[in-house]
Structure 1
Amino acid sequence: MTPGASGRAQRGHPLLRMLALRVLGALALLFVISVLVFSLVHLAPGDIVRNILGPKDVSPEAVAVIREQYRLDDPVHLQYLHWLGNALSGDLGQSVRHQSAVADVIFARAGNTVLLALGAFVLAAAVSIPLGVLSALRPGSALDRSITVVAILGISAPAFATSLLLLYVFAFALGWFPLYGIGGGGADTLWHLVLPSAALALGLGAILTKITRTAVIRELEQEYIVSARARGLPARRVRGLALRNAAIPIVTGAGLVLTYLVGGAIFVETVFALPGIGTLLEDAVIFKDVPVVQAVTLLVAAVIVGVAIVVDLLYAALDPRLRR
């Protein structure tokens, strides 16, 4: 092995160790979350048998069949182990409400939520990061104060409030966008998702604007920037150095605020009547569709943990100190 290859291998070891530790930690966290969710769902009031059979009088034989089908007579820990074993093999169970495989129910809804989340994130990043940079480059100016006020309002406003406001103004009053639903597919679906994505992007963009502004201002106050200015480097090059190093906390913050999409999507999908994961989880909790609640909660947790791992790897890729 050449010296260069040996050096590259040695530099790769810390990243591989970090990735292995993050994955192991993620698996442990998902296990704890699955136990907590399973326990809380089973402790919640309501009877799954009554939800399936309805309010009408039913025979004890019908109740016994349902309880046997969902193993409701087993102790809770045995029910959990049975569910966990099936989940590890890819079987997430049968939906109580939809009477079909949980995986099929989630798959039918997941695409809409992914489109909504991607649209909101792209819109928020495209607008908020440039605004944060402009605000940081002119601290104390009228532009800076205006952007800060708008960002604070965006952070303070709950997702359902901004959704209702945008729905009333742009869909009901002006009629520019559809009132509700997901459309008939293709361009029609994308058009239906414009307003919900904007509603979800407001809060996310406000947070990202504040993170970007703080990161850039902090970087501009570093000693190497002061020294670069003292040596007479062009202002454009000095700003380039600061922005390059400020990218580390911006990328980290962008990854972390993605968790905002999880809670926000539930409210936005409810207001706009979008058939996504958020409304699926809401209906499952109300109906006490235990298999769906468990599967969706674990899926959301896995996505959040996965995003955190990707953020860690991006942080290591951008910061040479971590690679050493």
Structure 2
Amino acid sequence: MVKIGNITLPDFPLLLAPMEDVSDPPFRAVCKANGADLMYTEFISSEGLIRAAAKSRQKLDVFDYERPIGIQIFGSDIESMRESAVISAAAGPDLIDINYGCPVKNVACRGAGAALLRDVPKMVQMTEAIVKATTLPVTVKTRLGWDESTKNVTEVAERLQDIGIQALSIHGRTRVQMYKGEADWRLIAEVKNNPRITIPIFGNGDIDTPQKALEYKNRFGVDGVMIGRAAIGYPWIFREIKHYLKTGEMLAPPILEERIENCKLHFTRSLEWKGDRQGIFEMRRHYANYFKGLPNFKPFRMRLVQTESPEEVYQILEEVAQSEALMLAE
């Protein structure tokens, strides 16, 4: 078992990475149904929370079926981050996660996310303020460093552990790399194998097959893996990895019925959480992913992205289920 404070996870847990505009409650619902062990909200602006901005406050929504669930916050001001941790804790998550890894320009260039990798003393001060502000476990997600010449994650891990974080997730790229090139897990392994480190270390970056999950588990010795982009439109990645780790055998890919079932679950949760208009609109970007690889799906997708009626979406999905052309395509 893996422990994060008072949270108990199974051996080698699979974590769903927090992804902006992706890992909302509807998306998390399908990932949880397919075996994700620990999930996080989209990252939430500390300034937005303090100003009670509607979009930021809505991201605090967590549900019992998601547990254990962490709320992830980001920001550049220590007092604002401390306050936002208090606000987040009141929403009832199982842990608070701090984003020190986001590489995008409008975050990092404002001194938040991965920018803190260039100011480790401030990162330590900010983390300590958050740890002291809540009784919940505090965890961190970060990167190897800002660029090739400043890969300082080993120092970051030691110093953050010393002031009380309970787990660390490391993306195997620098900020400058963004999401390009191959993730380098050797430094992640170095952190994990550091005798000073006693907290769980989770690796993130490029895990997109069960075989790779097992290979990285054995090669780098991490306590678990965090999966991001590979889960978009393919929540079955979690169950496939678990099955492969347990049996050494690959599960068959999801049949058409399962694709439809998960798409419906995602859509239903989307309507419940966002309302009909927004729920229909935001679901449109997911259809192609759920039915990826089915050459005869395009006419159905065109109709799905044009309709504004929930009833019609369900009706089209029923037609997909009855389509002999799609069944043959599988």
TM-score (norm 2): 0.22
Bigger share in helix:
1
Q: Which has the higher contact order (CA 8 A, sep 6+)?
A: 1
Query: Greater strand share, 1 or 2?
Result: 2
